[in-house]
Amino acid sequence: MNTSGTDCLTPAGNLLSENLVTLITGLLNEPYLETFLTDYKNFGEIVHTRVYESLHQAYHLNNLDVRKEIQSVLFQIYNCCFSPPLSACARNQYSPFIISLRNIIEKSWLEFETRRIREYQLPHAEDNFVSRLTTLCRTHRAATHPLFDYLSTQAGDRHFDYFFRSDTALNVLFFDLVAMMLPGSYPFTRSEITKNLWDEAGQGNEHHNHVDLYHSLLKARNLRPGGDQFSSLYNWQGLTGYNVFLLGGVNRQHYFKLVGAMAMTELLDPPQYSKLVDGARRIGISDKNIYYYSEHIEIDVDHADGWLNKVIQPLIDFDPVSRHEIYTGALLRLETCADYYDDLLNTLKKL
Ligand SMILES: [Fe+2]
Ligand SMILES: [Fe+2]
């Protein structure tokens, strides 16, 4: 392969003239990525420099367009986990270069989030950690967000349809996210995690699994997700919220963060979904079609209790140091979720 000039660059080489998302997506889907990087010696270095520059813009200069770009790149890298097994993306999942990009992005992003959550003090060891987490969630602005009052009392069909589209990517991924918590799980937490997974799978009833329930709602509303599950709607807030789960799902070192994030998710859902279901009924969506959400009003009370008392409490009894990571993961979820709700409500009001 000729590396002496730009005249005969391969299609992958041409990617350098593209924006960062197109560039990295192109590399992820390059069937001969490792050969390409070996032949074009300074290509990797150029991309690293661009990523560092973008991270500075995104997280030090608060350029929100670039923040969206960075989170979008991370989103693409994480989604290699779910790509078709015979695709180039799957082959590149553990490319050292791709992993290096992921590490660089995660490090800067987490440093930013850590600065942001500094105001929340880690509870003292003697505190009742489970009740502390519950209070943290109940009093956080994510839990009292006006988005759900808006859905309950004011939103019309087009607002609900936008909300349903925007809610798709994580809802249809939830089984996988719970499943990602099983490898390497502590044996005493497995029955609870497995119970969550079983519920996600419809407790053995193939028509009752949560992904299908959600697809039924989309179908009833005439909403057709493409391969991207409507994730193209996401701004930096939606992408970051999604990425919090994958951060813990694919990185062993962030496993406890995902535990905290999951507990917050289950605690947040029931009261918010009650409001959502009230609003859906108000505009005439049938109980059958809104079943995905009404089902979670009850089941997530159980799941929240399970995460708190049958996963988190035994974990911190076994390894007290895990408290810090669980607490950080809970805050990551709450903060990014509140950002997402802000952006979504803002968008809905403009429709
Ligand atoms: Fe579910
Ligand atoms: Fe749940």
Domain edges within the chain: 11-116, 129-350
Structural fold of domain 129-350: Heme Oxygenase; Chain A (1.20.910)
Which token pair is 26? 């192109």
Closest CA to 261 of 316, 164, 335: 335
Cα-Cα-Cα-Cα dihedral sign, residues 256, 56, 231, 76: negative
pLDDT value for 1: 37
Alpha helix positions (H), the chain: 11-14, 20-28, 33-39, 43-59, 64-78, 88-91, 96-116, 129-139, 146-153, 157-171, 174-179, 190-200, 210-220, 236-250, 255-282, 291-306, 313-318, 322-350
> How far apart (Å, rounded) are the C-alpha atoms in residues 67 and 239?
10
Which token pair is 132? 């502390």
How many angstroms is it from 141 CA to the middle of ligand 1?
A: 23
How many angstroms is it from 189 CA to the middle of ligand 2?
A: 16
How many angstroms is it from 265 CA to the middle of ligand 1?
A: 11
pLDDT value for 305: 94
* 155 alpha carbon, distance to own chain's centre: 25
CA angle 273, 271, 247 (to 5 degrees): 75
pLDDT value for 10: 56
10 Å Cβ neighbour count for 146?
A: 12
Closest CA to 92 of 112, 113, 110, 78: 78
Q: Looking at the CA of 174, which ligand is closest?
A: 1
How many angstroms is it from 296 CA to the middle of ligand 1?
A: 6
pLDDT value for 2: 36
* Residues present in the chain in total: 351
Q: Looking at the CA of 300, which ligand is closest?
A: 2
Q: Looking at the CA of 262, which ligand is closest?
A: 2
- Rounded to 5 degrees, φ, ψ at 30 are -85, 115
Which token pair is 317? 């009894």
Q: Looking at the CA of 192, which ligand is closest?
A: 2
Asked if 316 contacts 322 with a C-beta cutoff of 8 angstroms, the reply is yes
Asked if 239 contacts 68 with a C-beta cutoff of 8 angstroms, the reply is yes
> Which protein residues have a CB closer than 5 Å to ligand 1 (ion)?
210
How many angstroms is it from 37 CA to the middle of ligand 2?
A: 43
How many angstroms is it from 227 CA to the middle of ligand 2?
A: 24
How many angstroms is it from 295 CA to the middle of ligand 1?
A: 8
10 Å Cβ neighbour count for 313?
A: 14
Q: Looking at the CA of 269, which ligand is closest?
A: 2
How many angstroms is it from 78 CA to the middle of ligand 2?
A: 22
How many angstroms is it from 201 CA to the middle of ligand 2?
A: 11
Q: DSSP letter at 40?
A: S
> How far apart (Å, rounded) are the C-alpha atoms in residues 312 and 328?
13
How many angstroms is it from 171 CA to the middle of ligand 1?
A: 7
Radius of gyration in angstroms for the set of CA atoms belonging to the chain, rounded to a whole number: 21
Q: Looking at the CA of 200, which ligand is closest?
A: 1
pLDDT value for 315: 97
pLDDT value for 113: 96
How many angstroms is it from 304 CA to the middle of ligand 2?
A: 7
Asked if 338 contacts 272 with a C-beta cutoff of 8 angstroms, the reply is no
How many angstroms is it from 174 CA to the middle of ligand 2?
A: 9
Mean pLDDT per block of 10 residues along the chain (351 residues) reads 43 86 96 93 94 98 98 98 97 97 98 90 80 95 97 98 98 97 97 96 90 96 95 98 98 98 97 98 97 95 95 96 96 98 98 95
Q: Looking at the CA of 268, which ligand is closest?
A: 2
Q: DSSP letter at 188?
A: G
